Structure 1
Amino acid sequence: MACRITELVLDCRDPDRLAEFWCAVLGYEVIGHEPDGLELGPPGGRFGDGSVTLILAQTDNPRRGKLPLHLDVSPAGTDQQTELARLTALGARPADVGQTGEESWVVLQDPEGNEFCLLRKDVGAG
């Protein structure tokens, strides 16, 4: 028997605003309302169905600075530069965490400053 990662929790000030961003980035929708936030997942999905969901937990004091864990996203059915333009249009901003410029990924931050990386490899649209 083993465990599975079923959800990732991201502390934030404004779950509704961040849900709009992350739903557009991942193609997710709000699938649950928590007392202090929202649960995002694939359309029609629900907790434990095999997909990792994202919990946006409201807090007045989200942690700032480099976190020990971050999200990596990959383009799905497009190239990295096209996806970078889309993410930037959605509100992502470049982030500097000490990268050299030689990396194959791009470091970004969401509208609340949470870092994530856009990887190079297209994982396909399906």
Structure 2
Amino acid sequence: MTCQLVAVCFDASQPLRLAQFWAALLGRAVVHDVDGASLPGTDTQLGLRFVESHTERVEKNRVHLHVTSDSAADQQQTVARALALGASHLDLGQRPEEGHIVLADPEGNEFCVIEPGNNFLAGCGLLGEIACEGTRDVGLFWSAALRWPLVWEQDQETAVQSPNGGTKVAWGGPPVPPKQGRNRQRFDLAPPVHGDQQSEVERLVSLGAALIEVGEDGHVLLADPDGNEFRVLPPR
């Protein structure tokens, strides 16, 4: 057994408001917790979590979500629903022929509504991809850390996917923008059901992670080989 990627965690000034936006867009239920709110995942769809933070954003996010669509009409309906819920259009220099539509959620986090017929995300579900800035080395690290197969490796780009299928996690390769401060998104990992947190932390460090700190609630904060923070949660 190994750790499980249970959620992508977002810092948010209004975590419940942001959780409600994503719950309505993805058709999930909001679960309240001490620090904020979450949208639990499944065996094939990654969870999302939103925690309160008033740290000012100083750079473009290193992580954004890709929402899939089944048809041109479905894509337009998803975009319309997102805008009605509080999203806005975002211009990142994308070209019309690229097909996807770039939006920002109510707190400015970028996400894309992907065009129908995208072969890379076929069969991945509504939350098709967690798209990350990152090097090939960090993709290889997460493949080993999660024991998820590497389903894409080309031109320094990598992607991993659970053996059960579903949401892919991908890294776009160099150039990777210089990191400024702590990321506003991070991966939350649960230790193995029949393992222990400390052994899992030691294994991740042996794979190339760096220990940052232990939180008051018992989570362990580490950084992957690109310096991106992630947490190993305490046993439940």
Q: Which has the larger radius of gyration?
A: 2
Unpaired stretches in structure 2, ≥5 consecutive residues: 118-122, 127-236
Q: TM-score if structure 2 supplies the norm length? A: 0.44
Q: Secondary structure at the match of 1:23?
A: helix
From 93, 96, 103, the equivalent of 2:98 is: 103
Q: CA offset at residue 121 of structure 1?
A: 2.0
Write out aligned runs for 1:28-47 (5 A): 28-33=28-33, 35-41=34-40
Q: 1:62 to 1:8 in 2, by over 3 A?
A: farther
* C-alpha separation in 1, matches of 2:49 and 2:90: 23
Does the 8 Å contact 1:12/1:62 carry over to 2? no
Equivalence for 1:5: 5
Does the 8 Å contact 2:7/2:40 carry over to 1? no
Write out aligned runs for 1:1-126 (5 A): 4-33=4-33, 35-41=34-40, 49-50=42-43, 51-75=45-69, 79-121=74-116
**Cα deviation 1:50-72 (Å, max 9, x = unaligned):** 24211101101153542121111
* C-alpha separation in 1, matches of 2:25 and 2:64: 15
Which one scores higher on RCO, CA 8 angstroms, separation ≥ 6?
A: 1
Q: CA offset at residue 76 of structure 1?
A: 5.7
Aligned length: 118
* C-alpha separation in 1, matches of 2:80 and 2:63: 24
Equivalence for 1:45: none
Does the 8 Å contact 2:25/2:78 carry over to 1? no
Q: CA offset at residue 37 of structure 1?
A: 1.3
Q: Secondary structure at the match of 1:108?
A: strand
* C-alpha separation in 1, matches of 2:56 and 2:5: 22
* C-alpha separation in 2, matches of 1:64 and 1:58: 17
Q: CA offset at residue 3 of structure 1?
A: 5.3
Moved more, 8-17 or 78-87: 78-87
* C-alpha separation in 2, matches of 1:58 and 1:76: 34
Q: Secondary structure at the match of 2:25?
A: helix
**Cα deviation 1:55-107 (Å, max 9, x = unaligned):** 10110115354212111111368521122111111111001112122211100
* C-alpha separation in 2, matches of 1:86 and 1:31: 22
Q: Secondary structure at the match of 1:79?
A: helix
